[in-house]
Structure 1
Amino acid sequence: MNKKRPETARQYVVGVLRAKILRGEHMAGARLRQEEVAAQLGVSTTPVREAFRDLLAEGLIGLDTHRGVLVRSLTLADVRELYELRIVLEPMLAIRALRMATPAHLDAAEAIHLQLCDEPDPERWATLNVSFHQALHAPAPDGRLARMVAGLADAAGSYVTLSMHATPELMTSNNRDHAQLLQLYRSGKEKELGAKTAAHLEQTLLAIERDVEIRDVLLDKTA
């Protein structure tokens, strides 16, 4: 399958910069200059500025008063905290969503699942992965729990993308997990759904921990 350029210049810039940061091509502490990035990617400075806002929200870059936009490091402490919270909260939201889900809700999630199964690109897979879980959780009441889970999932997105780049076969195992989650939603098995949701997150955490450690070792060797 040929890779397609994302729909907007902003998405294109976000995808390129995110991939470079996650692969260590832009090292922690490196300065990103708006004009240089625009020239390198053949875009105007507007989508670069918009992309910087997105990457700032993801925690991949930070702002320094004197030096401007700087690449942030991805730490194991950060990812463990995110996933410890997700493992507690997300099964609760999944069960609430199951109780309100209609066949139409699950059909929408399954359509995204089929796209995931056909998607070999880590960046696009990670984006579809977010959409898949959002579709599963959509039937749940729009309250504090839903907002907390969504915020934690957004914050974890960069780590998920890192693991998909480092270990592409994880996309296949995650697709199998997604099929099982859909089956549990359709069968109405609350207890099993909660356990599978937690196990799915725990598996992702283990993969991310391994890949962050490997990346840090490789970067230390090349420093």
Structure 2
Amino acid sequence: MEKKRPQTARQYVLGTLRAEILKGKHPAGARLRQEEVASRLGVSTTPVREAFRDLLAEGLIGLDTHRGVLVRGLTLADVRELYELRIVLEPMLAVRALHLTSAAQLDEAEAVHLRLCEEKDPERWANLNVAFHQTLNVAAPDGRLTRIVASLAEAAGSYVTLSMHATPELMTLNNGDHAELLRLYRAGHEAGVASKTAAHLSQTLSAIERDVETRVVILAEAE
């Protein structure tokens, strides 16, 4: 069994806070205090400050002039906009990459796929998922489409992790999608790659929508 690489303090704080926000431990509008987080997690304030920057880039927190760092929460409008764009653009990128991807690159993607099939932790699975898709599309021309897709995928990272926490069986479903994508890439099947890429993203969007809607109903009933 492969040994897990040790996390840096920044990665530890980022992963912990991200998981807590996604699981609803810190509701939208809650204030995160740097010193309190550092004390609770047993680290200095430096990795907490760095993790706050990462969470700000991911859209999970915001900055208020008077109150400091506040949890933004997740909205259906955000996730739908992200995934509507991804569902249009990523199949286009996949088709562009398809005939430029080498057998060695596909073998590398398959190795990541095998690790995904063994992984049960949502955070680590989500990170490997990014690596899988990057490896599949690494041969795509380095143009505007590639940069836009990469930016959208990064912005969606927190939502992917959320979907894995909310619907653990989705990891198994997505692993099946990955196996099929690999088969289609090896076969050079353009229409199949485009269709499967879009369906794969739609499946994740549906899972996130169900969880976000459930959270909204629970909060409304509690008020």
TM-score bucket (shorter structure) = over 0.9
**TM-score normalised to structure 2 length:** 0.96
* Unpaired runs of at least 5, structure 1: none
- The match for 2:61 is 61
- The match for 2:123 is 123
Q: In the superposition, relative to structure 1, how do residues 149 and 5 fare at CA in structure 2: closer, same or farther (>3 Å)?
A: same
Partners of 1:16 and 1:60 lie apart in 2 by 13
Partners of 2:10 and 2:121 lie apart in 1 by 18
Partners of 1:64 and 1:108 lie apart in 2 by 44
- The match for 2:22 is 22
1:132 matched to 2:132? The reply is yes
1:87 matched to 2:87? The reply is yes
How far apart are 1:204 and its partner, in Å? 1.0
Partners of 2:100 and 2:185 lie apart in 1 by 10
What amino acid does structure 2 have at the position aligned with 1:32?
Answer: L
Partners of 2:9 and 2:184 lie apart in 1 by 39
Partners of 1:62 and 1:4 lie apart in 2 by 32
How far apart are 1:163 and its partner, in Å? 1.0
Total equivalences in the alignment: 222
- The match for 1:105 is 105
1:193 matched to 2:197? The reply is no
How far apart are 1:216 and its partner, in Å? 2.0
- The match for 1:216 is 216
After superposition, what is the alpha-carbon deviation per residue over 1:4-49, rounded to whole angstroms, capped at 9, x for unaligned? 6852111111111001101110011111111110100011111111
Partners of 1:4 and 1:28 lie apart in 2 by 32
Q: CA contact under 8 A between 1:5 and 1:12: conserved in structure 2?
A: no
The CA RMSD over aligned residues, in Å, is 1.5
Secondary structure of the corresponding residue to residue 120 of structure 1? coil
Q: In the superposition, relative to structure 1, how do residues 4 and 218 fare at CA in structure 2: closer, same or farther (>3 Å)?
A: farther
Secondary structure of the corresponding residue to residue 29 of structure 1? coil
- The match for 2:171 is 171
How far apart are 1:222 and its partner, in Å? 4.1
After superposition, what is the alpha-carbon deviation per residue over 1:148-194, rounded to whole angstroms, capped at 9, x for unaligned? 00111111111111111011010000000000001111110011100
Q: CA contact under 8 A between 1:22 and 1:162: conserved in structure 2?
A: yes
Q: CA contact under 8 A between 1:61 and 1:72: conserved in structure 2?
A: yes
How far apart are 1:117 and its partner, in Å? 0.5
Partners of 1:40 and 1:222 lie apart in 2 by 28
Q: CA contact under 8 A between 1:13 and 1:47: conserved in structure 2?
A: yes
Partners of 2:222 and 2:37 lie apart in 1 by 24
Partners of 1:85 and 1:176 lie apart in 2 by 23
How far apart are 1:220 and its partner, in Å? 3.2
What amino acid does structure 2 have at the position aligned with 1:7?
Answer: Q
Q: In the superposition, relative to structure 1, how do residues 4 and 217 fare at CA in structure 2: closer, same or farther (>3 Å)?
A: farther
* Unpaired runs of at least 5, structure 2: none
- The match for 2:71 is 71
